[in-house]
Protein backbone atom coordinates (compact mmCIF):
# COMPACT_ATOMS: atom_id res chain seq x y z
CA UNK A 1 0.00 0.00 0.00
CA UNK A 2 1.48 3.31 -1.09
CA UNK A 3 -1.38 5.69 -0.30
CA UNK A 4 -4.41 6.12 1.93
CA UNK A 5 -7.57 7.71 0.54
CA UNK A 6 -9.14 10.32 2.84
CA UNK A 7 -12.18 11.52 0.93
CA UNK A 8 -10.88 13.32 -2.18
CA UNK A 9 -7.37 13.47 -0.73
CA UNK A 10 -4.77 10.74 -1.19
CA UNK A 11 -1.85 10.73 1.24
CA UNK A 12 1.21 8.55 1.14
CA UNK A 13 1.44 5.98 3.91
CA UNK A 14 4.68 7.57 5.10
CA UNK A 15 2.93 10.93 5.44
CA UNK A 16 0.04 9.33 7.33
CA UNK A 17 2.48 7.55 9.63
CA UNK A 18 4.27 10.82 10.41
CA UNK A 19 0.95 12.59 11.08
CA UNK A 20 -0.15 9.80 13.40
CA UNK A 21 3.21 9.93 15.16
CA UNK A 22 2.79 13.67 15.72
CA UNK A 23 -0.76 13.26 17.07
CA UNK A 24 0.39 10.51 19.43
CA UNK A 25 3.34 12.60 20.61
CA UNK A 26 1.20 15.70 21.21
CA UNK A 27 -1.44 13.70 23.09
CA UNK A 28 1.05 11.89 25.31
CA UNK A 29 3.02 15.08 25.83
CA UNK A 30 -0.08 16.99 26.91
CA UNK A 31 -0.95 14.36 29.53
CA UNK A 32 2.60 13.95 30.83
CA UNK A 33 3.25 17.68 30.76
CA UNK A 34 0.03 18.47 32.66
CA UNK A 35 1.12 16.20 35.50
CA UNK A 36 4.48 17.99 35.72
CA UNK A 37 3.09 21.46 35.11
CA UNK A 38 5.02 21.98 31.85
CA UNK A 39 4.07 22.40 28.19
CA UNK A 40 5.92 20.33 25.59
CA UNK A 41 3.83 21.00 22.47
CA UNK A 42 6.04 23.87 21.31
CA UNK A 43 9.10 21.69 21.75
CA UNK A 44 7.48 18.89 19.75
CA UNK A 45 6.72 21.25 16.88
CA UNK A 46 10.34 22.38 17.07
CA UNK A 47 11.49 18.77 16.89
CA UNK A 48 9.30 18.18 13.82
CA UNK A 49 10.51 21.35 12.10
CA UNK A 50 14.15 20.57 12.85
CA UNK A 51 13.72 17.06 11.49
CA UNK A 52 12.14 18.35 8.27
CA UNK A 53 14.77 21.05 7.71
CA UNK A 54 17.66 18.68 8.41
CA UNK A 55 16.19 15.93 6.24
CA UNK A 56 15.77 18.32 3.32
CA UNK A 57 19.16 19.98 3.80
CA UNK A 58 21.06 16.69 3.84
CA UNK A 59 19.19 15.41 0.78
CA UNK A 60 19.90 18.63 -1.13
CA UNK A 61 23.58 18.46 -0.19
CA UNK A 62 23.77 14.86 -1.40
CA UNK A 63 22.32 15.85 -4.78
CA UNK A 64 23.60 19.42 -5.01
CA UNK A 65 24.63 18.94 -8.65
CA UNK A 66 21.05 17.97 -9.53
CA UNK A 67 19.60 21.09 -7.95
CA UNK A 68 22.28 23.49 -9.21
CA UNK A 69 20.41 24.63 -12.31
CA UNK A 70 17.01 24.67 -10.55
CA UNK A 71 17.36 26.83 -7.41
CA UNK A 72 13.60 27.02 -6.76
CA UNK A 73 13.53 23.23 -6.57
CA UNK A 74 15.60 23.44 -3.38
CA UNK A 75 12.47 24.30 -1.40
CA UNK A 76 9.93 22.40 -3.49
CA UNK A 77 9.06 19.60 -1.08
CA UNK A 78 6.59 18.04 -3.49
CA UNK A 79 9.38 15.83 -4.79
CA UNK A 80 9.68 14.09 -1.42
CA UNK A 81 13.43 14.59 -1.33
CA UNK A 82 14.21 13.93 2.33
CA UNK A 83 17.07 12.09 4.00
CA UNK A 84 15.76 9.87 6.82
CA UNK A 85 19.01 9.78 8.78
CA UNK A 86 19.38 13.54 8.46
CA UNK A 87 15.84 13.99 9.77
CA UNK A 88 16.53 11.71 12.72
CA UNK A 89 19.71 13.61 13.54
CA UNK A 90 17.84 16.92 13.40
CA UNK A 91 15.07 15.66 15.69
CA UNK A 92 17.44 14.13 18.24
CA UNK A 93 19.70 17.17 18.20
CA UNK A 94 16.87 19.63 18.83
CA UNK A 95 15.32 17.45 21.54
CA UNK A 96 18.67 17.06 23.30
CA UNK A 97 19.45 20.78 23.11
CA UNK A 98 16.02 21.75 24.48
CA UNK A 99 16.21 19.16 27.26
CA UNK A 100 19.58 20.57 28.30
CA UNK A 101 18.16 24.10 28.40
CA UNK A 102 14.90 23.10 30.16
CA UNK A 103 15.46 20.16 32.50
CA UNK A 104 11.83 20.20 33.65
CA UNK A 105 10.54 18.94 30.31
CA UNK A 106 12.90 15.99 29.97
CA UNK A 107 10.51 13.38 31.32
CA UNK A 108 7.34 14.54 29.50
CA UNK A 109 9.31 15.08 26.29
CA UNK A 110 10.80 11.59 26.44
CA UNK A 111 7.31 10.11 26.97
CA UNK A 112 5.93 12.14 24.06
CA UNK A 113 8.71 11.12 21.69
CA UNK A 114 8.33 7.46 22.68
CA UNK A 115 4.57 7.64 22.06
CA UNK A 116 5.20 9.22 18.66
CA UNK A 117 7.68 6.52 17.70
CA UNK A 118 5.24 3.80 18.76
CA UNK A 119 2.33 5.44 16.92
CA UNK A 120 4.25 5.80 13.67
CA UNK A 121 5.63 2.27 13.91
CA UNK A 122 2.16 0.81 14.52
CA UNK A 123 0.87 2.58 11.42
CA UNK A 124 3.69 1.24 9.27
CA UNK A 125 3.18 -2.23 10.73
CA UNK A 126 -0.53 -2.09 9.96
CA UNK A 127 0.22 -1.09 6.37
CA UNK A 128 2.47 -4.12 5.96
CA UNK A 129 -0.18 -6.40 7.48
CA UNK A 130 -3.12 -5.28 5.35
CA UNK A 131 -1.20 -5.03 2.09
CA UNK A 132 0.39 -7.97 0.37
CA UNK A 133 1.83 -6.45 -2.81
CA UNK A 134 3.21 -8.82 -5.40
CA UNK A 135 6.89 -8.05 -5.74
CA UNK A 136 6.79 -9.07 -9.39
CA UNK A 137 5.47 -6.89 -12.16
CA UNK A 138 1.66 -7.35 -12.47
CA UNK A 139 0.48 -9.87 -15.04
CA UNK A 140 -2.45 -7.73 -16.23
CA UNK A 141 -2.47 -7.21 -19.97
CA UNK A 142 -1.93 -3.66 -21.12
CA UNK A 143 -2.10 -2.36 -24.67
CA UNK A 144 0.30 -0.30 -26.74
CA UNK A 145 -0.68 2.82 -28.65
CA UNK A 146 -0.47 0.70 -31.79
CA UNK A 147 -2.96 -1.80 -30.41
CA UNK A 148 -1.29 -5.10 -29.39
CA UNK A 149 -1.84 -6.34 -25.83
CA UNK A 150 1.13 -7.27 -23.65
CA UNK A 151 1.93 -8.16 -20.04
CA UNK A 152 4.27 -5.77 -18.27
CA UNK A 153 6.83 -8.45 -17.36
CA UNK A 154 6.73 -9.81 -20.90
CA UNK A 155 7.21 -6.28 -22.21
CA UNK A 156 10.30 -5.88 -20.03
CA UNK A 157 11.76 -9.12 -21.38
CA UNK A 158 11.06 -8.10 -24.95
CA UNK A 159 13.14 -4.98 -24.37
CA UNK A 160 16.28 -6.57 -23.02
CA UNK A 161 15.31 -7.38 -19.41
CA UNK A 162 16.60 -4.01 -18.30
CA UNK A 163 15.72 -2.37 -14.98
CA UNK A 164 12.34 -0.75 -15.53
CA UNK A 165 10.66 2.47 -14.41
CA UNK A 166 6.87 2.46 -14.76
CA UNK A 167 5.21 5.87 -14.52
CA UNK A 168 1.45 5.83 -13.84
CA UNK A 169 -0.03 9.00 -15.25
CA UNK A 170 -3.01 10.74 -16.85
CA UNK A 171 -3.36 13.79 -19.07
CA UNK A 172 -5.63 15.58 -16.56
CA UNK A 173 -3.08 15.27 -13.71
CA UNK A 174 -1.04 18.52 -13.27
CA UNK A 175 2.03 16.97 -11.57
CA UNK A 176 2.02 14.19 -14.19
CA UNK A 177 2.24 16.81 -16.90
CA UNK A 178 4.90 18.74 -15.00
CA UNK A 179 7.28 15.79 -14.65
CA UNK A 180 6.90 14.50 -18.23
CA UNK A 181 9.79 16.56 -19.72
CA UNK A 182 12.09 15.23 -16.99
CA UNK A 183 11.08 11.64 -17.70
CA UNK A 184 11.43 12.20 -21.45
CA UNK A 185 15.01 13.43 -20.90
CA UNK A 186 15.76 10.52 -18.58
CA UNK A 187 14.49 8.05 -21.16
CA UNK A 188 16.92 9.47 -23.71
CA UNK A 189 19.85 9.65 -21.28
CA UNK A 190 19.52 6.26 -19.58
CA UNK A 191 19.63 3.58 -22.25
CA UNK A 192 20.32 1.06 -19.49
CA UNK A 193 16.83 1.59 -18.03
CA UNK A 194 13.46 0.87 -19.65
CA UNK A 195 11.04 3.74 -19.04
CA UNK A 196 7.37 2.78 -19.46
CA UNK A 197 4.53 5.30 -19.37
CA UNK A 198 1.31 3.53 -18.32
CA UNK A 199 -1.64 5.84 -18.85
CA UNK A 200 -4.46 5.26 -16.40
CA UNK A 201 -7.91 5.00 -17.92
CA UNK A 202 -7.76 7.25 -20.98
CA UNK A 203 -8.31 6.65 -24.67
CA UNK A 204 -5.68 6.39 -27.40
CA UNK A 205 -6.96 9.56 -29.01
CA UNK A 206 -6.67 11.54 -25.77
CA UNK A 207 -3.13 10.29 -25.21
CA UNK A 208 -2.00 10.96 -28.78
CA UNK A 209 -3.48 14.47 -28.67
CA UNK A 210 -1.71 15.22 -25.39
CA UNK A 211 1.67 13.97 -26.63
CA UNK A 212 1.34 16.01 -29.81
CA UNK A 213 0.26 19.21 -28.04
CA UNK A 214 3.09 18.92 -25.51
CA UNK A 215 5.66 17.97 -28.19
CA UNK A 216 6.65 14.90 -26.15
CA UNK A 217 8.56 12.11 -27.87
CA UNK A 218 7.94 9.24 -25.46
CA UNK A 219 8.70 5.62 -26.20
CA UNK A 220 6.90 2.72 -24.51
CA UNK A 221 3.54 4.35 -23.87
CA UNK A 222 1.04 1.74 -22.67
CA UNK A 223 -2.66 1.92 -21.90
CA UNK A 224 -4.02 0.64 -18.59
CA UNK A 225 -7.77 1.28 -19.00
CA UNK A 226 -8.77 -0.38 -15.72
CA UNK A 227 -5.93 1.16 -13.66
CA UNK A 228 -4.76 -2.32 -12.69
CA UNK A 229 -1.17 -1.22 -12.05
CA UNK A 230 -2.24 1.38 -9.51
CA UNK A 231 -4.40 -1.11 -7.63
CA UNK A 232 -1.63 -3.71 -7.69
CA UNK A 233 0.80 -1.18 -6.19
CA UNK A 234 -1.73 -0.02 -3.61
CA UNK A 235 -1.82 3.55 -4.90
CA UNK A 236 -4.91 5.60 -5.68
CA UNK A 237 -2.94 8.76 -6.45
CA UNK A 238 -1.24 10.07 -9.58
CA UNK A 239 1.52 10.30 -10.48
CA UNK A 240 2.94 7.10 -9.04
CA UNK A 241 6.28 5.78 -10.27
CA UNK A 242 7.32 2.15 -9.77
CA UNK A 243 10.92 0.93 -9.98
CA UNK A 244 11.51 -2.70 -11.00
CA UNK A 245 14.86 -4.47 -11.12
CA UNK A 246 16.06 -6.42 -14.16
CA UNK A 247 14.18 -9.53 -12.96
CA UNK A 248 10.88 -7.68 -12.76
CA UNK A 249 10.77 -7.37 -8.95
CA UNK A 250 9.43 -4.18 -7.43
CA UNK A 251 12.37 -2.49 -5.68
CA UNK A 252 11.04 0.98 -4.92
CA UNK A 253 8.12 3.32 -5.51
CA UNK A 254 7.53 7.07 -5.48
CA UNK A 255 4.20 8.78 -4.90
CA UNK A 256 3.85 12.29 -6.34
CA UNK A 257 6.04 14.62 -8.38
CA UNK A 258 9.56 13.56 -9.30
CA UNK A 259 12.46 15.98 -9.50
CA UNK A 260 15.79 15.32 -11.18
CA UNK A 261 17.30 14.62 -7.74
CA UNK A 262 14.60 12.24 -6.53
CA UNK A 263 14.60 10.37 -9.82
CA UNK A 264 18.37 9.92 -9.59
CA UNK A 265 17.99 8.76 -5.99
CA UNK A 266 15.27 6.23 -6.82
CA UNK A 267 17.16 4.85 -9.81
CA UNK A 268 19.89 3.71 -7.44
CA UNK A 269 17.49 1.07 -6.11
CA UNK A 270 17.45 -0.75 -9.45
CA UNK A 271 20.83 -0.03 -11.00
CA UNK A 272 24.34 0.72 -9.87
CA UNK A 273 25.42 1.99 -13.26
CA UNK A 274 27.30 5.29 -13.34
CA UNK A 275 24.92 8.19 -12.94
CA UNK A 276 23.99 10.07 -16.06
CA UNK A 277 22.08 13.27 -16.52
CA UNK A 278 18.40 12.51 -15.99
CA UNK A 279 17.08 15.87 -17.00
CA UNK A 280 17.84 19.08 -18.83
Q: Name 30's Cβ contacts closer than 8 Å, sequence gap at least 6.
A: 40, 41
pLDDT tens-digit map of 145-200:
988 888 999 999 999 999 999 999 999 999 999 999 999 999 999 999 999 999 99
Q: Which residues contact 48 (CB under 8 A, 6 or more apart)?
A: 22, 91
Please give the backbone phi and psi of residue 57, each rounded to the nearest 5 degrees, phi first. -60, -45
CA geometry: angle at 228 spanning 189 and 259, to 5°?
30
Question: Does the structure show a pLDDT above 90 at 245?
Answer: yes
Average pLDDT rounded to a whole number, residues 221-238: 87
Q: Compute the C-alpha angle 257/261/267, nearest 5°.
A: 90
End-to-end CA distance of the chain: 32
Vertex 259: Cα angle to 11 and 56 (nearest 5): 70
pTM of the model: 0.86
Domain locations in the chain as residue ranges: 3-131, 141-271
- Euclidean distance between CA atoms 233 and 111, whole angstroms: 36
Residue 222: DSSP 8-state:
E
Identify the CATH homologous superfamily for domain 141-271. Answer: Glutaredoxin (3.40.30.10)
Q: Is the pLDDT of residue 202 over 50?
A: yes
Helix (H) or strand (E) holding 114: helix 106-130
Q: What is the pLDDT of residue 76?
A: 87
Taking alpha carbons only, the member of 179, 229, 165, 166 closest to residue 201 is 229
Nearest Cα to Cα of residue 224 among 210, 207, 209? 207
240, pLDDT greater than 50? yes
Residue 89: how many other CB atoms lie within 10 Å: 16
Q: Angle at Cα 232 formed by Cα 142 and Cα 199, nearest 5°? A: 40
- Rounded mean pLDDT of the chain? 88
Summarised one tens digit per residue, pLDDT across range 84-135 is 999 999 999 999 999 999 999 999 999 999 999 999 888 877 766 765 555 6
Largest Cα separation within the chain, whole Å, is: 70
Residue 195: predicted pLDDT: 98
Q: Residue 159 CA to chain centroid, in angstroms?
A: 26
Amino acid sequence: MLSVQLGPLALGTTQVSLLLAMVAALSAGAVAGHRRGVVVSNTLFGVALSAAVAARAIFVLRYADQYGSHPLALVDLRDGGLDAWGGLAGAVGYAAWTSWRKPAIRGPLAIALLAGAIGGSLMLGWVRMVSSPDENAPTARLTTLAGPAVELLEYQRLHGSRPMVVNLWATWCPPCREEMPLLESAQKARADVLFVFANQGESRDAIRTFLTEQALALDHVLLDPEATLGRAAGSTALPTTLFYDAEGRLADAHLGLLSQATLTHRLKSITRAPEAETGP
